[in-house]
Amino acid sequence: MTNPTPFPPIYELDTRASALLDVLVDLGHLDEASLDRVNQVLSGMEKPLNAQGMATISMDDVRRVAAMAMFERLPSLDGEARRMIEREWGLLFF
């Protein structure tokens, strides 16, 4: 008899994590490709599962991954977009 294949975990963003992602997209700090990359990394994280097989992605998780995506994108941004990130960095990440 073979072991049943387990269902993949279900990830959910806590409300603060979801709000941070929304703000980063609304402000233009994450474009579609960057958001896809953030979602890909978040969905591959190892998180403890609850009894229903769900894992919660926290705001700290989103901060870490979003910052990585923003820095990857930084070389392709023009001067004004870079200055905007510099001005808003402290508000978004501290």
Is residue 15 scored above 90 in pLDDT? yes
Best CA proximity match to 70, nearest among 22, 44, 33: 33
Which residues make Cβ contacts (< 8 Å) with residue 25, sequence separation at least 6?
35
Q: What is each CA distance from 74 to 1, 2, 34, 61, 81, in whole angstroms? A: 52, 49, 11, 20, 9
Across the range 73-77, mean pLDDT stands at 81
Note the pLDDT tens digit of each residue in 19-69.
999 999 998 889 899 999 999 999 888 888 888 888 899 999 999 999 899
Residue 3 clears pLDDT 70, i.e. is over it: no
In whole angstroms, give the CA distance from residue 17 to residue 26: 14
How confident is the model at residue 26, as a pLDDT?
92
